[in-house]
Amino acid sequence: FICSQGEEKEHLTNETMLSITKAALLLIGIGASNAWTSITSPRARTTTLRASAGVEFAKYEGLGNDFILVDDRDKLDPSLTPEESARLCDRNFCVGGDGVIFALKAPEGSEDDYDFTMRIYNSDGSEPEMCGNGIRCLAAFLRDLGEDASTYRINTLAGPIKPIMNEDGSITVDMGEPELVGPKVPTTLEPNGDGDSVVEQTLECNGKTWKVNAVSMGNPHCIIFVDDLENDIDFEKDGPALESNTDAFPAKINVEFVQVMSPSHLKMKVWERGAGPTLACGTGACALTVAAIRAGKIPRSGKEGTRVTLPGGDLFIEWREENNRIYMTGPADLSFKGTAQLK
């Protein structure tokens, strides 16, 4: 080491150099120790927190509509709050998903009528009555948990729902009967169809005039038919404007924009109430099929069902004339399992 001041140079003694070297090594050691601590201590803290507050989950998706499944079969109510569920759905800071689904025990006193209860919190913490893709994911989750059965009787806020496990791995869900009475959907739009239903009714929203069809599948849906899904709508603006139009839809609403591709094929985009744009919506696919048939856009299909193409893939929807019930068939697949730390 050489220190200089002006023209004068002073050579350090060996003893001084040795002292400086020892001090430098000591500082390096302290720095390394701190660096090692900064790397390992968060991991250690995370491990401690996970042990005390970790959430075991399984991630499933139905046509890209993805859900975090929690095994609460020993409980009557969800083990997480809506706020905790919203944090779990955060795609940047936690697991990420369109919602959290809880597999709960059957209601007390109704064990003879139901096998399980399904509750779901959306990614914003709101609670929908039902979710078509979600209940297929729940059925796959129950199967993977060892609840081996050809069908399950599920209690939901929308009433009893029965998913059926098919041999090809797909799942068919008896979605029940559609609700067509406008005030029961609910909507304040004036009924203009049979049985006080709302069919192609005019609605002014977001500076545009829409022809609206209202159908409930246990949760409310607003179906709008367009000639071109890519050019006839401003999806990111029209979707949320319609969803939150509580003058027309007091409980807010799921919004489906639909293009008729053929008499047996519909294509749609969905803006889900409480979740925004998603890759698929099972109840929406059911609702828009009913709306298309009632509005004269397509004929009623046979057992093969109407093909509904969503951003995440295809569902097949059958509205049976013999019993007025709707059957939805599609996939549900496990993505991964893990333990999440709520932050």
CA distance to 215, 241, 252, 253, per residue, from 247 (Å) = 17, 11, 9, 11
| Backbone phi and psi for residue 41, each to the nearest 5 degrees, phi listed first | -65, -40
Taking the CA atoms of residue 28, residue 33, residue 38 and residue 40 in that order, the dihedral angle to the nearest 10 degrees is 140
Which of 89, 131, 137, 222 is the catalytic position?
131
Residue 281 annotated to the active site: yes
Taking the CA atoms of residue 143, residue 146, residue 151 and residue 155 in that order, the dihedral angle to the nearest 10 degrees is -90
The full DSSP string for 294-329 is HTTSSPPP-TT-EEEEETTEEEEEEE-TTT--EEEE
Tokens of 169: 């791995």
Which of 89, 94, 137, 281 is the catalytic position?
281
Q: Which residue type, as a one-letter code, is found at position 90?
A: D
Helix and strand numbers, DSSP H then E, in the chain? 5, 19
Angle subtended at Cα 103 by Cα 100 and Cα 109, rounded to the nearest 5 degrees: 135
Residue of 175, 111, 200 whose CA lies nearest to 315: 175
Q: Which helix (H) or strand (E) holds 215?
A: strand 208-216
Residue 3 annotated to the active site: no
Enzyme catalytic residues: 131, 281
